[in-house]
Amino acid sequence: MSGHSTYVPKTAIGKWFEARLPVVRLLHDTAVSYPTPRNLNALWTFGGILAMMLVVQIVTGIVLAMHYAAESTIAFRSVESIMRDVNWGWLIRYLHANGASMFFIAVYIHIFRGLYYGSYKAPREILWILGVIIYLLMMAAAFMGYVLPWGQMSFWGATVITNFFTALPIVGQPIQTLLIGGFSVDNATLNRFFSLHYLLPFLIAGVVVLHVWALHVVGQNNPLGIDVKSEKDTVPFTPYATSKDVLWIVLFMIFYGWFVFYQPNFLGHPDNYIEANPLSTPAHIVPEWYFLPFYAILRAIDFNIGPIDSKLGGVLAMFGAIAVLAFLPWLDTSKVRSGRFRPIFKVAFWVFGVNALFLGYLGSQATDAIIAGLQAVSWAKLSTFYYFAYFLVILPVLGYIEKPKPLPVSINDAILAKSVPGSAH
């Protein structure tokens, strides 16, 4: 897909450099002349938005680390000092804290875009799996970052999540002790989480390079889900994709800015402004919003399944909910990529989307809350069932029983048919 390079160095220095390190050629081929399908919609700008968010998080994070102290007796105070004393500290911290939420909003849109248009199907399996790895690294980075302010939610979130490992038989307890460096979450835990929180974004950046590389080998998917057949189906990345990316990055920044400047604590939890107290668990402990669907799945398994007790079952279901994504390229048996041409899939997909939001809502509720006459935990069981059924039953079976609508001959034909009725063929 990437085709041969069209870069021609014009200046003498350019030629001299090109013969020694062709990095300008690499950038030109990647970000200027790279052919993109001409029918990409706005959902395809979220890759660019995510790249921007990664840069924002790294830049704000490096600055915060200049003022933060990773020591359990002063960590909370140092964050308050960032908010009150450090010049512009409030802005930088709010950008970083809300930036994490924006990063997840963008990644969820990006993932659901891929789910709907079948971007995970051959030949993009590796591209998709690299995306799942980035998502996992993001979750680890976000979790450890949330621990650093050393508030009540930080402390109890760290306690609950590191306790996931104790669900494993025999090796579980030693692994947990190794992770937190003691018998309970304490200074040792805070220190290593800070170290790893600083490391992970750079690992993410590394996997992003592989993700973009894989993308440029196989080419972008598009809303029709059909392969690019000729040059007529594509436009060069610059100016077409770059200008569209910039437009949506600006719109996204307005959305981001609204949170930072008008609702900076809307997505957080007030209990995290209370310093960590190992003797008192907050009455309603909830993770950050982006983990709520998985939290609901964790709590849904409150029954033993044969030799697997409820605790291990919940942890396995929660990790399984993410791991199943990595197998998606082989679970979806349909040859048609785009949901536009799959009438039954379309329904199952939207139910899946609503179900995922509903799981998030359930994660925010107490387990014994009554919703429409049923306990939240019972709803969570139903929702968890559909979540897994979508991947393990619906997608594998649909490929055999669904009759897809006819696909257009090419991207170019489909566009012409739309703009000038009757002109294609």
Partner 1 sequence: MAESDTPAEPTRRDFLLHAAGAFGVVGVAAAAWPFVDQMNPDASTRALASVEVDISGVQPGQAITVMWRGKPVVIRNRTEKEVEEGKTVKLEDLKDPLARNANTDAAADATDANRAATGKENILVMTKVCTHLGCIPLDESGEFGGWFCPCHGSVYDTAGRIRKGPAPENLPIPPYAFLSDTKIRIG
Counting contacts by CB under 8 A, is residue 311 touching partner 1? Answer: yes
Among candidates 63, 53, 48, which has minimal Cα distance to 290? 53
Binding to partner 1, residues 57-116 (CB under 8 A): none
Counting contacts by CB under 8 A, is residue 184 touching partner 1? Answer: yes
Among candidates 241, 252, 255, 250, which has minimal Cα distance to 41? 241
Counting contacts by CB under 8 A, is residue 305 touching partner 1? Answer: no
- Contact letters (x/-) for partner 1, 36-55, by CB under 8 A? --------------------
In the set 282, 396, 399, 408, which binds partner 1 (CB under 8 A)? 282
Specify whether the CB–CB gap between 259 and 267 falls below 8 A: yes
User: From CA 105, how far away is CA 103, in angstroms rounded?
Assistant: 6
**With contacts defined by CB under 8 A, how many residues of the chain interact with partner 1?**
39
Minimum gap (Å) between residue 377 Cβ and partner 1: 7
Smaller CB separation from partner 1, 123 or 278: 278
Smaller CB separation from partner 1, 167 or 210: 167
Smaller CB separation from partner 1, 60 or 162: 162
In the set 42, 55, 188, 374, which binds partner 1 (CB under 8 A)? 188
Q: Tokens at residue 122, please?
A: 């051959």
In the set 8, 26, 178, 374, which binds partner 1 (CB under 8 A)? 178
Counting contacts by CB under 8 A, is residue 203 touching partner 1? Answer: no
- Contact letters (x/-) for partner 1, 330-369, by CB under 8 A? ------------------------------------xxx-
Widest CA span in the chain: 76
Minimum gap (Å) between residue 303 Cβ and partner 1: 9
How many CA atoms within 13 Å lie on the side-chain side of 64? 26
Q: Tokens at residue 276, please?
A: 């960590």
In the set 35, 114, 314, 360, which binds partner 1 (CB under 8 A)? 314
Minimum gap (Å) between residue 145 Cβ and partner 1: 19
- Contact letters (x/-) for partner 1, 121-160, by CB under 8 A? -----------------------------------x--xx
Relative orientation angle of helices 376-389 and 310-326, to the nearest 10 degrees: 40
Minimum gap (Å) between residue 279 Cβ and partner 1: 5
Counting contacts by CB under 8 A, is residue 371 touching partner 1? Answer: no
Smaller CB separation from partner 1, 81 or 281: 281
> Contact region for partner 1 (CB under 8 A) — 130-138, 177-185, 335-343, 417-425?
177-185
C-alpha to C-alpha distances, 8 to 12, 18, 23, 26, 76, nearest whole angstrom: 11, 9, 13, 12, 55
In the set 73, 280, 333, 423, which binds partner 1 (CB under 8 A)? 280
H or E segment to which residue 375 belongs: strand 374-375
- 123 upstream amide cis, omega within 30 of 0: yes
Minimum gap (Å) between residue 195 Cβ and partner 1: 11
Residues written for the chain: 425
Minimum gap (Å) between residue 149 Cβ and partner 1: 19
Specify whether the CB–CB gap between 40 and 223 falls below 8 A: yes
| DSSP conformational letter for 348 | H
DSSP string for 282-327? -SS----GGGHHHHHHHHH--S-BTTB-HHHHHHHHHHHHHHHHHT
Minimum gap (Å) between residue 302 Cβ and partner 1: 5
Counting contacts by CB under 8 A, is residue 181 touching partner 1? Answer: yes
Burial 210-223 (b: 16+ CB within 10 A, else e): ebbebbbebbbbbb
Residues in Cβ contact with 93 at an 8 Å cutoff, skipping those fewer than 6 apart: 60, 64, 79, 82, 83
Residues that bind partner 1 (CB under 8 A): 156, 159-164, 166, 177-179, 181-184, 186, 188, 192, 278-285, 298-299, 301-302, 309-312, 314, 366-368, 377
